[in-house]
């Protein structure tokens, strides 16, 4: 399975480079937005993330299954949208916009968490909350986005 995946990626290297570059541009734009936000936005962000962490700490039990199902539902709907756009001729530009959007949301979220919690705690919180959910989603997202080139 690993060799099949590596061969697939090497055959479509150019498309994956474009997709990853657009994703990184989205991440950079997200970081740029956090770094250039005004004081009111930073205060709002601090309040929101502080309340979120406080609620997580105060909650006796977190329904992990409900969170997992919600995450799967949201990610599958996003993947299906990308797949549908890939089936259309004009959908390619929207797929590229979706790639930049996903990069933006991840870059914005991670930089906001790090800006509020500091580098050490923010990195640990970002890895524990975002890395695990994106470990399967991002490769699937990239592969489905790349397959758009084969349909046209």
**pLDDT tens per residue, range 39-91:** 888 889 889 888 888 887 887 777 778 878 888 888 888 888 888 888 887 88
Return the pLDDT at 150. Answer: 59
Kindly indicate the confidence band of residue 151, based on its pLDDT and cuts at 50, 70 and 90: low
pLDDT at res. 149: 57
The pLDDT value recorded for residue 69 is 87
Range of the domain at 46: 2-151
Supply φ then ψ for residue 38, to 5 degrees.
-80, 175
Name the average pLDDT for the chain: 85
| 146 contacts 19 by C-beta, under 8 angstroms | yes
Instruction: Work out how many domains the chain is built from and give that number.
Output: 1
Tokens 């937005």 locate to 33
User: What's this model's pTM, rounded to 2 decimal places?
Assistant: 0.84
Query: For a pLDDT cut of 70, what percent of the chain falls above it?
Result: 97
Angle between helices 39-58 and 91-117 (to 10 degrees): 80
Higher pLDDT, 19 or 1: 19
Looking at per-residue pLDDT, the higher value among 53 and 121 belongs to 121
The residues, ordered by sequence, that sit 6+ positions from 89 with a Cβ below 8 Å of its Cβ are 152
């Amino acid at each position: 399975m690993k060799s099949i995946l590596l061969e697939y990626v090497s055959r479509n290297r150019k498309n994956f480079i474009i997709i990853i570059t657009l994703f990184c541009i989205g991440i950079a734009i997200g970081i740029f937005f956090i770094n250039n936000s005004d004081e009111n936005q930073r205060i709002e962000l601090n309040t929101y993330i502080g309340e979120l962490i406080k609620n997580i700490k105060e909650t006796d039990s977190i329904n992990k299954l409900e969170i997992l199902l919600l995450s799967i539902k949201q990610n599958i709907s996003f993947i299906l949208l990308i797949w549908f756009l890939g089936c259309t001729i004009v959908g390619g530009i929207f797929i590229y916009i979706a790639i930049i959007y996903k990069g933006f949301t991840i870059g914005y979220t991670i930089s906001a968490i790090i800006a509020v919690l500091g580098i050490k705690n923010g990195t640990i919180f970002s890895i524990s909350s975002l890395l695990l959910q994106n470990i399967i989603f991002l490769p699937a997202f990239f592969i489905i986005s790349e397959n758009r080139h084969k349909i046209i």
